[in-house]
Amino acid sequence: MNVMHYKGFSARIEFDAEDEIFFGNIAGLDDVVGFHGESVNQLKQAFHDAADDYIETCRKLGREPHKSYSGKMMFRVDPDVHARAARAAELSGKSLNQWAEEALSKAAGETA
């Protein structure tokens, strides 16, 4: 996966072979903010410009640029995975929520 980081923002980068451009969208926003470039340097500058413009727009509107999250997650997993995770949590002396938060935090890594 190709990811760029700038001022706390992260964007996944892809290549469009037909148009011969690199493009990306900034992740973790309530809005869609995209950018593109024909070279790595152009792409990097376009990402920086898009992030800076978005920060300025949010400042003018009086809102936070990053999407807020509640901290509540609900998803389904295979029952065997659920059982193994519950067992691992119990054996580590943690609740399943504490254990899962640590596992997700480690898997997600630092994005900025």
Structure tokens at 103: 């596992």
Model confidence pLDDT, tens digit, residues 54-66: 999 999 999 999 8
- Residue 108 clears pLDDT 50, i.e. is over it: yes
Q: What is the pTM (predicted TM-score) of this model?
A: 0.73
SS3 content of the chain, % helix, strand, coil (to 5): 45, 20, 40
Q: Cα–Cα distance between 2 and 14 in angstroms, integer? A: 7
